[in-house]
Structure 1
C-alpha cells in the first residue's frame, strides 16, 4: 500500500525585522490615537443651542407667514442651525409651548427693536419657567447698523429716495414706557439718518410714548418739509404697523419682514449672546463684535 504523499505545509511567516516591527507598532498607535485627544478621548462637538426667535404675535393674517419667511432666510444663511419660533401672544406656537418642547440649550432672540418690557421682563420670565433648559436672552434687534440697512432698503422699495422721494423721515416704533427703549429708538433714528446721508429722521410711536406719527409729521411739516416718508420698526404686518403707515403723508415703507440685513442681524444677536455671560443682562461681559 502506497503511503499518502504529505501536503506541503504553508510557509511560516518570516520573522519581522526591527524596522518592520517598528513600522507595525507605529501604524497601530496612529490608528488608536485618532480617537484620543490630549486630555482624553475624542467626543463629538456639542450641538449648537437652538435659536428661538420670539415674535410679538398679531391678529393680522399676514404676520405669521412674514415671520416664517424671515426664519427661512435665517436657516438658509446658516444651514444646520436649529431655529424655532415662539410668540408672546396672539399666534401659535406660543413661546412657552416652544420652550416646553426643547431640551439642552437655547438662545431667545427677540424680533423686537428695543429694551422694552417684553425684552427685559417677559423673556427672562419665560426662561425661568423652563428650568429644563439652559438658556439666555439675546439683545433686541435695535439699535444696530444692520437694522438701519434694512430700514433703508424698505424705504428705497417704497420710492422714498433722499432729495427726490422725500426730504425727511418719521421712524415709527411700537412704543414703550421704558426710557431705555426710547433711547434705543433714538439711536436707530441717528443710524438711519446717517445711512440716508444726513436726511432728518425723527422718532414716533404707535402707543405708550410720544410723539405719535401724526404729531411727528406735523412737526416736520412746520419745519418746512413737504415730502415726508414713514419707516416702521416692525418685523411683520400688524395693527401698529398699519396704523403708522396710514398716517404717512407720503411713502410708507413695508414692514422689515425677510429683508436679508434683518436675517443677518438675527444671527448676529444669537452669536453675540453666546459670547456673553447672560445675553441681555446689562451687567454681562460684552464680547468683541461678531462678524456679520
Structure 2
C-alpha cells in the first residue's frame, strides 16, 4: 500500500505566529515520522496542513490533491484540536465527504490527553507558578456540550498532575470568562493567580489571557516533543487501520 499522507487539520488563525506554529508542528511531525527503524522498508509520509476556518487550504482541497484517476494516496486526517466540538464532529467529516477521497481515516482529536497536561504544567512553571498559587485553566470555549466535557476532562488531568485544584474559565465562548475567575480567586484570598493556557498556538485568544489580570500567563501548548509524538502515534494507529481495511477488502 502507498504510504498514507498525514493531513494535520487546525482551526486557522489570522495570527502570523499561530500559522508559523502550525507549520513548525507539521515539520516536526514529518521529521518524527521520517526516521523509520533501521532495516525498515517504510517510506516517510507526506505531511500536509489544512484549516477549517479563517484561511486555507481546506481539508477537502488537500484531500482532493491526494487522489486522481491515476493514483490514490491514502490519507490520515489528524484534527489538531484540544477538544472535540463542532469542528471535529461536523466540519472535518463534511470536508472528508466533499473531497470524495476513497481511503481516509480520521483519528481522534489531539486532546484531552495526559501528555498535554504535562506540557501545561511545564509552561505554568516556566511562567513562575509555584505550589500554593491559584490556577485558572483557560480554554477557548465551545457551545458544544461534548467539547465542554473534554475541557473538564483536560482540567482534571492538569489537577492530577499539579496536585492542586484548577478553575475552568473560557476565553471566547461560554461562562465563566477568564477575567471573572481571576477576580473571584483574588476575592477569595488567593495571593497569586496564574493562567494555564489550554490553547494550541499564539493568537488573539492567547493575547486576551494577558489582559485578564493574572500574575502570570503560561505559553500555549505549542510545538513540544510530546505533542509531536502524540500526533505521530495517532498517525501510526490509523495507518494500521487503513492496512487492515485494505486486507479485508
Give the TM-score range, shorter chain: 0.7 to 0.9
1:75 aligns with one of 20, 27, 30: 30
| Contact persistence 2:5–2:74 (CA under 8 A) | yes
1:138 aligned onto 2:93: no
TM-score (normalised: structure 2): 0.85
Aligned length: 228
- The 3-state SS of whatever aligns with 1:81 is coil
How does 1:100-249 map onto structure 2 within 5 Å?
100-103=64-67, 104-163=73-132, 167-196=133-162, 198-249=163-214
1:161 deviation in Å?
3.2
- Which 4+ residue blocks in structure 1 deviate beyond 3 angstroms? 271-277
Closer/same/farther in 2, CA of residues 64 and 220 from structure 1, 3 Å limit: same
Range 236-245 or range 143-152, more displaced: 236-245
- The 3-state SS of whatever aligns with 1:241 is helix
Q: Aligned partners of 1:222 and 1:272: how far apart in 2?
A: 47
Decide which structure has greater helix share: 2
Deviations 1:23-58 (A, max 9, x none): xxxxxxxxxxxxxxxxxxxxxxx2332111111111
| Contact persistence 1:175–1:208 (CA under 8 A) | yes
| Contact persistence 2:63–2:101 (CA under 8 A) | no
Q: CA RMSD in A?
A: 1.8
1:95 aligned onto 2:59: yes
Q: Aligned partners of 1:172 and 1:189: how far apart in 2?
A: 9
Structure 1 alignment gaps of length 5 or more:
1-45, 278-292
Closer/same/farther in 2, CA of residues 96 and 214 from structure 1, 3 Å limit: same
- The 3-state SS of whatever aligns with 1:70 is helix
1:274 deviation in Å?
4.5
1:109 deviation in Å?
0.9
Structure 2 alignment gaps of length 5 or more:
35-43, 68-72, 243-249
> Which structure is larger by alpha-carbon Rg, 1 or 2?
1
Residue 261 of structure 1 aligns with which residue? 226
Q: Aligned partners of 1:273 and 1:211: how far apart in 2?
A: 37
Higher relative contact order (CA 8 A, sep 6+): 2
Q: Aligned partners of 2:109 and 2:27: how far apart in 1?
A: 19
1:257 deviation in Å?
1.5
| Contact persistence 1:107–1:135 (CA under 8 A) | yes
Deviations 1:130-176 (A, max 9, x none): 1134112211111111111121122222222334xxx1211111111
Q: Aligned partners of 1:276 and 1:96: how far apart in 2?
A: 21
